[in-house]
Amino acid sequence: MDRLPPARREGPARVLFLHSCQLGMKTVALQLKAYADRAADIDAVHVDLVPALWVRALGKRLLTRRFEVPATWDLQAWRGYMIWKSIVARWLRGPLPIDRFDVVHVLSQGVAGAARRAAGSWPRWAVNVDSTGELESREFGYPRVLCRPFISAERRMFAMTDLVVCQSRWARDSVVADYGVPVERTQLARNGIDLSEAPPRE
């Protein structure tokens, strides 16, 4: 980040993009940056949330001497949420004043929940998700009791969010049915590919 938008809106919407850059989210972040660069009605500031070594260490899957702890038993998603909560809150109260933006778009919900609770009622918020805790518990067989802290955080975050952008119908169906988000507050936006970069057929 090398600049902040004007203190008062003078034209395009002032949009802050907070990008999680882990796994496939990095590709989604690149697509959002390319879109915002082409949009004349967006004055965008992009922040890539690249975890420091200590964040990676605290958020890492726990291991024992003989085997890896089964998924969710180490509360990995919840630990990640709590770590980012303190980091993002400090940024939004310091070098990244939230009142300089009209919209905040966050990728994904682990960061969004932390950011939303730290920012108060302004500005408008959009969160971009590829799955939910309810889906992971139900369809991947993760114990619900261990998913519950993260699901509760998701539920609070969705209730305070103006728009939930879902990368698949699978995710949107869960956001609506499992979390009670009105369908009109959701947007289906499947990830795309840049055909101009596809290799030529032989």
Question: pLDDT per residue over 56-110, tens digit each?
Answer: 665 565 554 444 445 555 566 667 777 777 777 777 777 778 888 999 999 887 7
Q: What is the pLDDT of residue 52?
A: 66
With a cut of 60, say whether residue 135 has pLDDT above it: yes
Helix (H) or strand (E) holding 146: helix 144-160
Which residues are registered as beta bridge partners of 37? none
Higher pLDDT, 111 or 173: 173
Q: Residue type at 117?
A: R
Residue 163 to residues 12, 144, 156, Cα–Cα distance (Å)? 19, 26, 14
Superfamily of domain 13-192: Glycogen Phosphorylase B; (3.40.50.2000)
pTM, 2 dp: 0.80
- Average pLDDT over all residues of the chain: 80
Q: What is the pLDDT of residue 174?
A: 96
* DSSP, residue by residue, 64-131: -SSSBPPTTTT-HHHHHHHHHHHHHHHHHTTTS-GGG-SEEEEESHHHHHHHHHHHTT-SEEEEEES-
At residue 93, what are phi and psi to the nearest 5 degrees?
-95, -5
Spatial contact of 27 and 83, defined as CB atoms under 8 Å apart:
no
Distance CA(17)–CA(44), nearest Å, equals 7
